Structure 1
Amino acid sequence: MHRFFVPVLIAFCALPLFGQNLLNNPGFENSSSWLKPAYWAGKFSIVKPGLTGKSCGELKAAREGKAFYGRCYQLARIDSPWGRRFSYSMKARGSGELYLGCLEYTKDSQDKIVSKLIYSAPLVLKKEEWQEIKMNIQSTEPTLIRFAPLIEVRGENAAAYLDEGSLVYSPAPGAAMSVSPAHLVAEDGKPLPEVAFRLTENGKPVPDAALKAFLGGKLQDSATDRDGRFVVRPGDKDSELLVSAVKYGVAADVFIDRLSPAAWNRTDGLARKIKLEKPVSILYLGDSLSDFERGRNYADKVNFWLNRYHPGKAAFRNAGVGGDYITRVRQRMIQGGAYRQEQYDRLLETPYDYIFIFLGHNDTRCLSTKNYEVPQVTPEEQKTAYREVIGHLRKHSKARIVLVSPTSSNFEVCKQSADKQKALDKVHALFGQPAMLEAFDAVLRQLAEEENLDYLDVYAPMKNEAEKAALFSPSDGVHLTEAGNRFLTDLFLEYLASPK
């Protein structure tokens, strides 16, 4: 086993897949995902039969003031929605008028989150005949945070039966926008390099195309040059650049991470030690710590630093899925039919050099119904599932497999979150128990030894970090802050710089 214990390093202060249905529970097979808040009129339920499946959704109108309506929505997870075009559709029958729409969440001048309802044209429902209703969703609101697809039926005694929902990324055929660098890390006080956006159609540059660009805190009109490029140098206060070719339904953004001189010198020193004799490709398998903050998380930062001294030689795929644990990774990789199965589409067709497996945060969560004593994945289940995943990876890839320990969560915050749910008498999970995380880590160490795999310890460095609380979200104690992602970046770079 090649074991890498990384010393404590002090931390200083993604895109939708084409054709992938971004709705959760689009066939209304159960009541999950579709929400009907009490402050909206109407009633939502699941009834049988459906158009194609065993069931469908039923949305009934009710009176509110002088209006009769029923409305439901869902918080579909959509990475980087700004400027991109999405096609939203639904099959429906019933009575009354049906509207599709979305809740657009933005920030006002006081940085408060506000929402706005946007609707499609109405569809007059037919009692027995299923019809399709469609709309496009595309927003270039500068402060867009996210949007949530909704359904609304209107009319006295109106009722809509719903099935085969779809929300897909829908750019013009062959259109794509790229940006280089994809993530920019800069030293405070130093000039920033240029960032180049490029619009193509079927692989060919699109010249003189109209663009919407959010730069320097302002939305402005611009256009591509004759090579299909739009080049800009970020300003001193820019933290993100956004560019959209609205007509083509595509957009690209780049996050800018600014480091203090001390932090820059430390991470830059690690990057300088890494020698890439040939191009390197990395696959990350993980949970929400890999899946969240795409475009600016540790995987993006590692890629920036690898390419800083080896331009164009490093590439990666982040196949992290929020909520994942090793048994679900096994299902998605080997058996199929798992939650967000599409994240593993053609997973091992690329000849990777490294595959990092970074899990443990959901595997070790414990339910209140079991007195917080039984983890989601028991040690025996962990051993079995990891061995099967490792065997599958070895069969289909020659990559070096690296087992990464879980982080050392901020358990005080995790417990506070659980205590709030306990006070409300709700079934809930407790994350981040040190004993559970350390038991999971012990199994990883054993597996690395027995399977002759590399092991990367991020648990101990985070546990011993003097400013540990700054590494984790103050709201849940598990997810990483910008400082936490920087901290992890240094640990991964330290590993990649180590002699093999």
Structure 2
Amino acid sequence: MFSVGDKVLFIGDSITESGKFGDPEGIGNGYVSIINMYVKEHYEDVTILNKGIGGNRVTDLERRWERDVLQENPDWLSISIGINDVWRQIDNPKAEQIYPYMFEEIYGRLLIATKRRLTNTKIILMEPTIIKEDINSKGNKLLLSYVEIVQSLARQHEATLVPAHRIFLKELQKEKPQKLTSDGVHMNEAGNKLLADCWIQAVL
């Protein structure tokens, strides 16, 4: 539960960014925006910061962690990363890749650094969502290892886990699933609402 004056920082890739650079408030029009509206309705004087940047992988987060997280000193830190770490393996296989063991090592370093510096910050880890709206897609099969790493890191670091991947797969397995993305990765309105609802239920 949030307290008066809390700062909640969201960091991640384009799913988190979602139009924030065209928004005077810097919140965007994605799941962070829906959470922001919910928080304004139910809590007093809570600040939401959106630090998502499109295309980011866990290595990109590491490069900007000091500036965008540690120096901000949030009361709550929500991390959503992993989609591009997998997607680059599919759309640009000749690029330098972030394989699961690297993802786990780097992500773990970020969490250790955060807990060391920001001793009172509550950490929230979001499972990466989906790559294509087909549970058997190559992207979703590759993504599973990264989802499991996020789950493991949440247990190790006593962080709140947002089960986004599992919730999205559950929706895709329905007899008549709703469409959740505009291109297999980026959320449409229904996808953003499902992701925000999943976050709110897990965190609040």
TM-score, normalised relative to structure 1: 0.35
Alignment of 1:70-219 (within 5 A): none
Aligned 8 A contact 1:411 1:433 in 2 = no
Higher helix share: 2
| Shift in alpha-carbon separation, 1:323–1:283, aligned structure 2, 3 A | same
Verify the 8 A CA contact 2:12 2:56 in the aligned structure 1. Answer: yes
Q: For residues 83-482 of structure 1, what are the structure 2 equivalents within 5 Å?
A: 276-294=2-20, 295-311=28-44, 313-333=45-65, 344=67, 347-365=69-87, 366-367=89-90, 370=93, 376-397=97-118, 398-411=120-133, 433-465=139-171, 466=174, 468-473=177-182, 476-482=183-189
CA distance in 2, matches of 1:439, 1:469: 25
Contact 1:407 1:458 in 2 (8 A): yes
Aligned amino acid, residue 324 of structure 1: N
Contact map agreement 1:410 1:468 (CA 8 A) in 2: no
More strand by share: 1
- Bigger relative contact order (CA 8 A; separation at least 6): 2
Deviation at 1:469, TM superposition (A): 4.9
Equivalent residues in 2 for 1:5-16 (5 A)?
none
Conserved? CA contact 1:303–1:314, under 8 Å: no
CA–CA distance in structure 1, aligned partners of residues 157 and 203 of structure 2: 20
C-alpha RMSD of matched pairs (Å): 2.5
- How far the C-alpha of 1:490 sits from its partner, in A, is 0.8
C-alpha offsets along residues 68-96 of structure 1, whole Å, 9 cap, x if unaligned? xxxxxxxxxxxxxxxxxxxxxxxxxxxxx
Moved over 4 A (4+): 368-371
Partner in structure 1 of residue 23 of structure 2: none
Kindly tell me: are residues 291 and 300 of structure 1, through their superposed partners in 2, closer, same or farther at Cα, counting changes over 3 Å? same
Residue 481 of structure 1 and its aligned partner are, at CA, apart by 0.5
1:333 deviation in Å? 2.1
d(CA) in 2 for partners of 1:324, 1:446: 21
Q: Which amino acid aligns with 2:115?
A: R
Q: Which runs of 5+ in 1 are unaligned?
A: 1-274, 335-343, 416-431
Deviation track 1:410-446 (CA, whole Å, cap 9, x = no partner) reads 245xx7xxxxxxxxxxxxxxxx611111110111112
Tell me if structure 1 keeps the 8 A contact 2:132–2:140: no
Distance 1:463 1:492 in 2: 15
- Pick closer, same or farther for the CA change 1:370–1:302 going to 2, 3 Å: closer
TM-score using structure 2 length: 0.82
1:242-263 CA distance string (max 9 Å, x none): xxxxxxxxxxxxxxxxxxxxxx
Rg bigger for which structure? 1
